[in-house]
Amino acid sequence: MTDAANPAPTSPDEADAQTEAAQDAAKEAATKAQVLAAAERLFALNGFQNVSVRDITAEAGVNLASVNYHFGSKDALLFEIFRRRTSELNRERARMLHEAADRHEGKPPVREILRALFEPPLRWSSAGSASSSLSAPAARAPRRCARCCAPTSRTCAVSPTR
């Protein structure tokens, strides 16, 4: 604990308890991150409907109860992935728009604005494929839907009409 507001522990017992608590917290955060990564990977490969909570915890190598403990439900886990991904995407869009504004005295031209809107999702969905080519079906890694992380060839789990 480096928090200046907390006085240094006075007894060895107290120090042990604090270390233990910090270790527990770190372990929980690691479990949560493992679950998120595993779920995202499995949803992308197989689609949300085809992945069970058991699949996720097995893939992550964590306790079966971890999904419910950290997220509440499989649905809530999907929402968390979606939330994290979209905020990442929109941060990137905002950054590009900001830079375009800086380059044009605060008033970027239409094309630069649209580039900031289009480019991040385009780059994001083609990242991870063997090449950036859109024309080689055999070389395709599953691209992910920006809304639900399902392969883009499938119906979006979040917005099925899309």
Number of other residues whose CB lies within 10 A of the CB of residue 104: 12
Q: Binding to another protein by residue 126, rule CB under 8 A?
A: yes
Q: Binding to another protein by residue 162, rule CB under 8 A?
A: yes
Phi/psi at 79 (5° precision):
-60, -40
Q: Which is nearer to another protein, 16 or 119 (CB)?
A: 119
Q: Closest distance between another protein and the C-beta of residue 107, in Å?
A: 6
**Residue located via tokens 């063997």:** 130
Q: Binding to another protein by residue 11, rule CB under 8 A?
A: no
**Residue located via tokens 């991040």:** 120
Task: List binders of another protein among 66-105 (CB under 8 A).
Answer: 75, 78-79, 82-83, 86, 90, 93-94, 97, 101
Q: Binding to another protein by residue 160, rule CB under 8 A?
A: no
Q: Which of 2, 10, 132, 138 binds another protein (CB under 8 A)?
A: 132
Q: Measured in Å, how far apart are the chain's first and last C-alpha atoms?
A: 48
Which residues are within 8 A (CB) of 134 and not within 5 positions of it... i.e. 6 or more apart? 126
- Cα torsion through 60, 66, 70, 75, rounded to 10: 80
Q: Give the binding site for another protein (CB under 8 A).
A: 75, 78-79, 82-83, 86, 90, 93-94, 97, 101, 107-111, 113-119, 121-123, 125-126, 131-135, 137, 140, 143, 145-147, 152-153, 158-159, 162
